[in-house]
Amino acid sequence: MAAGGESKLQLLRSHIRAFPDFPKKGIVFRDICPILKDAAVLKAVIDLFEEHVRNSHQHVDLIVGLDARGFLFGPLLAQRLGVGFVLVRKKGKLPGPTVSVAYDLEYGKAEAEMQADAVAPGQKVLLIDDLLATGGTLKAACDLMRKMQAEVLGCMVVIELKELNGIDKVQPHNVFSLVQY
């Protein structure tokens, strides 16, 4: 990464707040709200994602954003790349025919879905979210793309919580993270 990239990463790191014991004791919540309220930092994040995509992927058809914070970064990146953006939502949030996959949560189950016509078979997609923790949601989105017969080029996140090993669940897909804890 060029020197400019390193300064952007430092700027990004300085705008991620840690809240110990939120939402429950023993968890350190990484807050991205300061990134979103500072235009220069938000631009730096999208610059870093764009640089990664342009250097690593010759052709991308769609950016796929995960509910809900992937919706914050995905459309900005898609616009920069000149490609479309589609949503992966929690079950019951999208109108019209949908396709869904079930996945396990720490205490229960959930479903991720997208509109049935959102991705065409063979389209090359990149998934984006704010955080990779245990990997359940990102894996479900990858499974949903496979069900839709799309080609997952990779996954991108602002923050990766390495000690939770979420990257293992997403294999064989590559995960690009800007910041790791």
Distance from C-alpha of 159 to C-alpha of 133, rounded to nearest angstrom: 9
Dmax (CA) of the chain? 47
Amino acid at 137: T
| Active-site option among 30, 50, 51, 69 | 69
Written as one string, the DSSP assignment of 123-160 is -EEEEEEEEESSSHHHHHHHHHHHHTT-EEEEEEEEEE
Find, among 30, 23, 79, 22, the residue nearest to 50 by Cα: 79
Which whole-number Å values give the CA distances from 94 to 79, 80, 108, 116, in the listed order?
22, 25, 22, 10
Is 69 an annotated catalytic residue?
A: yes
Location of structure tokens 């690593």? 56
Is 111 an annotated catalytic residue?
A: no
Active centre residues (catalytic)? 69, 106
